[in-house]
Amino acid sequence: MMQFMLLFSRQGKLRLQKWYVAHPDKLKKKITRELITTILARKPKMCSFLEWRDLKIVYKRYASLYFCCAIEQDDNELLTLEVIHRYVELLDKYFGSVCELDIIFNFEKAYFILDELLLGGEIQETSKKNVLKAIAAQDLLQEEETPQGFFEDHGLG
C-alpha cells in the first residue's frame, strides 16, 4: 500500500501531498523536509529507489517536478514508477501538456485526479479514459450549479 505521495519542485517547494496514513502534522512536515532534501541531493545517474526507515521511496523527476511515493516492503517499486507515470499522463491529458504552474494554480484539480486514480493508497482504476470521464462529469456538475453572470464569482475563481 502506498503510504504517501509528494510532489515537489526542484527548488524544494512542496506542490502536492497526499497521505494515506495518519500522522501528526509535525511528523508529516519532518518527513517531507527530510525526503525533499535527500532526493534533491541525489545525482541523476542514481536509481529511483531508496530505503528510508522501513519504507521504500520511489521517485521520478518530470521536468521541474519530482513525484515521490513511499511504499511498503512488499510493494513493487517498478510498478510504482508506472503509477507515477500514469498520474503524469492523466494530468497531461487533463491540462493539456501539463506544467508546474498548472499544478500550482489548480492544485485542487490535481488532487481530484489523484483521488480518482488511487484510493486509500491502492489503485482503483486502471483505465485512463474512466478516470478522465469521472473528472469531467464532476467538473460539469460543478459548472451546472454555478450559473454564469450573477454568480460568477461563486466558484473557486
Partner 1 sequence: MYPYYEPEWSVLPPELNRRFNPAFNMATIKQAINEAVERVRMPTPMRLRDLIRQIRAARTAAEERSVVNKECAYIRSTFREEDSVWRCRNIAKLLYIHMLGYPAHFGQLECLKLIASPRFTDKRIGYLGAMLLLDERQDVHLLITNCLKNDLNSTTQFVVGLALCTLGAIASPEMARDLAAEVERLMKSPNAYIRKKAALCAFRIIKRVPDLMEIFLPATRSLLSEKNHGVLITGVTLITEMCENSPDTLSHFKKIVPNLVRILKNLILAGYSPEHDVSGVSDPFLQVKILKLLRVLGKNDAEASEAMNDILAQVATNTETSKNVGNSILYETVLSIMDIKSESGLRVLAINILGRFLLNNDKNIRYVALNTLLKTVHIDTSAVQRHRSTILECLKDPDVSIRRRAMELSFALVNAQNIRTMMKELLTFLEKSEPEFKAPCSSSIVLAAERFAPNKRWHLDTLLKVLVAAGNYLRDDVISSTIQLISETTSQQAYITLQLWHALAEDSMDKQPLIQVSVWAIGEYGDLLLTATIDDAHDVEKPTEEDIIEVYQRLLWSPQNTPTTKQFALMSLTKLSTRFSHTNNKIQQIISSFCSSLHIELQQRGVEFSQLFGKYGHLRGALLERMPPMEVVRQGNEVQANGDMDESEDKTSDTSPQHISTSESTFLVDLLGGGSNSDLDIIKPSSVPSQPISNSNNQDLLDLLGGIDLSPSVPTTDSGLGFIMENNNGSLTLDNNQTSNFLTGDILNTNIINEKNVPTLTAFEKNGLKLVFSLERLPESNNTVSIHLTATNSTLSNMTDFLFQAAVPKAFQLQMLSPSGTVIVPNGQITQVLRITNPNKGVLRMRIRLSYMVDGALVQEQTEVNNFPTHIWD
Q: Which is nearer to partner 1, 30 or 63 (CB)?
A: 30
Q: Which is nearer to partner 1, 63 or 104 (CB)?
A: 104
Closest contact distance (angstroms) between CB of 97 and partner 1 is 20
Residue pair 70/57 in contact by the 8 Å Cβ criterion = yes
Closest contact distance (angstroms) between CB of 67 and partner 1 is 14
Closest contact distance (angstroms) between CB of 109 and partner 1 is 10
Closest contact distance (angstroms) between CB of 148 and partner 1 is 14
Strand partners, 7: 16, 67
Q: Which amino acid is at 23?
A: H
Q: Which is nearer to partner 1, 30 or 96 (CB)?
A: 30
Phi, psi of 18 (to 5 degrees): -130, 120
44/152 Cα distance (integer angstroms): 46
Going along the chain, which residue ranges are E strands?
2-9, 14-19, 49-52, 55-62, 65-71, 118-119, 122-123
Q: Which residues contact partner 1 by CB under 8 A?
A: 1, 14-20, 22, 24-25, 29, 43, 45-51, 74, 76-79, 81-83, 86, 104-105, 107-108, 111-112, 115, 119-130, 134, 137-138, 141-142, 145-146, 150, 153-157
Q: Which amino acid is at 107?
A: F
Q: Which is nearer to partner 1, 14 or 63 (CB)?
A: 14
Per-residue CA distances from 150 to 105, 126, 155 (Å) = 24, 40, 12
